[in-house]
Amino acid sequence: MTKLTDTQAVILSAAAQRDDHNVLPLPGSLRGGAATKVVETMIAKGFIEEVDADVREGEPVWRETGDGHGTTLVATEAGLAAIGIEPEGKSTAPASAPDTLAEQQATPTTRTPREGTKQAALIAMLRAPGGATIAEIVAATGWQPHTVRGAMAGALKKKLGLEVASEKVEGRGRVYRLPPA
């Protein structure tokens, strides 16, 4: 799934709920230059597009074109697909894909650590056949013991979704492990 900012997700979700997929009105907290920047970025990414507004029908206007006409903003198929909504008559999402924005946001996103970082070293140590103790990780990374525990609980478990297992090993103490990749 495409990476969206919270603002982009809110805008596309609101548009998806409208019959004409009109993006306007934008969220009330988004005004002025910030609104322009978000809209320009979404147009550049192909999530929304400018189309002629039918002012007689009361369609909201994004900007005046100078010749007496106005344009409005509409979510594209790519924009709807970015929030998990299939285009009309097409089935591109897997059967287990989240249906609503709330389900999508509740689903943890899997991230991958950059190579050569201390976090990558931590993961490599935990994936090694013998695992690693807090003391071994402290020696390898230079972190304090509480930082190591915090990295395992926060970065590895919560952000990366990895299951860190631990067991008490005779003569070595508590050893932490990750399943092999």
Would you mind telling me the total number of residues written for the chain in this entry?
181
Same domain, yes or no: 125 and 102: no
Same domain, yes or no: 77 and 30: yes
- For residue 112, what pLDDT is reported? 62
Query: How many of the other CB atoms lie within 10 Å of CB of 149?
Result: 14
The answer to whether residue 124 is domain-embedded is yes
pLDDT, averaged across the chain: 79
pLDDT in tens, 135-158: 999 999 899 999 989 888 888 887
**Residues in a beta bridge with 70:** 64
pLDDT top residue among 87 and 140: 140
Percent of the chain with pLDDT over 70: 78
Which among 106, 128, 153 is the end of a domain?
A: 106
Q: What is the CATH number of the domain that holds 78?
A: 1.10.10
pLDDT confidence bin for 77, thresholds 50/70/90? confident
The answer to whether residue 163 is domain-embedded is yes
Domain that holds residue 64: 6-106
- For residue 96, what pLDDT is reported? 52
- For residue 94, what pLDDT is reported? 47
The answer to whether residue 1 is domain-embedded is no
pLDDT confidence bin for 32, thresholds 50/70/90? confident
- For residue 92, what pLDDT is reported? 45
Indicate if the alpha-carbon torsion angle 36, 39, 41, 43 is positive or negative. Answer: negative
Query: How many of the other CB atoms lie within 10 Å of CB of 26?
Result: 20
Same domain, yes or no: 28 and 86: yes
pLDDT confidence bin for 111, thresholds 50/70/90? low
Same domain, yes or no: 102 and 123: no
pLDDT in tens, 3-26: 788 888 888 888 888 888 888 888
The answer to whether residue 137 is domain-embedded is yes
Q: By the 8 A CB rule, do 71 and 63 touch?
A: yes
Q: Is residue 28 scored above 60 in pLDDT?
A: yes
- For residue 90, what pLDDT is reported? 47
Same domain, yes or no: 47 and 87: yes
Same domain, yes or no: 39 and 122: no
pLDDT confidence bin for 55, thresholds 50/70/90? low
Same domain, yes or no: 38 and 71: yes
Q: Could you tell me the pTM of the whole model?
A: 0.46
The answer to whether residue 93 is domain-embedded is yes
Give the chain's domain count: 2
